[in-house]
Amino acid sequence: MGTTRNNTDDSRLVAELKAARRIMVFTGAGVSTASGIPDFRGPHGVWTRRRPVYYDEFLTSEAARVDYWNYKLESWEIYSHALPNPVHHAIVALEGAGKINSVVTQNVDGLHRRAGTSLGVLVELHGTDRLVKCVRCAATSEPGPHFEAFKATMSPPRCSCGGPLKPATISFGQSLCATDLERAADAATHADLVLALGSTLSVSPAASFPLMAAERGTPYIIINDGATDHDGHACVTLRLHGDVTAIVPPAVEAALALRQGTRN
């Protein structure tokens, strides 16, 4: 399928953004591409080269912990230099205009918080690589020193309580955080517009949240370069094919400028 984007679709996006007051923004790997972050779980991702380390292996095997920290060292070196891009900033501008109910993300790169999305609206469904967490006492700490120590010793870091430390992302075989799932479901209930950006909408349960809102009759806009699992779904209001970095920032700018130019 070729591009189906046209000026009418772009105007429709601006109009929906302008009218909305409680937008649920749902983001996937495509939002971080322009920041130089590869899609680790995608077809060319790290798992084509490495065997995934499951959570129970991490808990029980020192060798698995070494493997895991080795893999995370690779992504840390990318994440620690990555900067938010115009899509992250556009979402912050929508929040500044009082239009955001939530930013629900599948990304673990921490770029939404780095851009300035407030933690009160941010739901990092798959956790974050910007923090390290103790699997025993749940204490969190900055990753930098742990990665430096691991690089020097190749010995996986431990908490002062003795428990193994792990980047605060959800691993294969690890449950999502119940509080985050509740916050995302609550956001889906109260949103008046859902914007799914840069996600193939194929990972469950994450992709169920935009659909949950759409099935309540909330306008649902999907912007993604490639196909998504929600394409052709009856509750999709608008589907834009293309690079989120090219589409979202100008639309947000137009919506917010229009808003300032009118008395509302």
Residues that bind Zn ion (CB under 5 A): 134, 136-137, 139, 159, 161, 163
Retrieve residue 208's tokens.
């169920």
Amino acid making up residue 201: L
Residue 66 CB, shortest distance to Zn ion, in Å, is 19
Please report how the helices 62-79 and 143-153 are oriented relative to each other, as an axis angle in degrees rounded to 10: 120
Residue 137 CB, shortest distance to Zn ion, in Å, is 3
Positions annotated as catalytic residues are 126
Q: How far apart are CA 103 and CA 112, in angstroms?
A: 8
Pick the closer one to Zn ion by CB: 147 or 209.
147
Pick the closer one to Zn ion by CB: 63 or 137.
137
Pick the closer one to Zn ion by CB: 164 or 219.
164
Residue 183 CB, shortest distance to Zn ion, in Å, is 25
CB 209 within 8 A of CB 184: yes
Pick the closer one to Zn ion by CB: 160 or 175.
160
CA 250 to chain centre: 21
Pick the closer one to Zn ion by CB: 26 or 147.
147
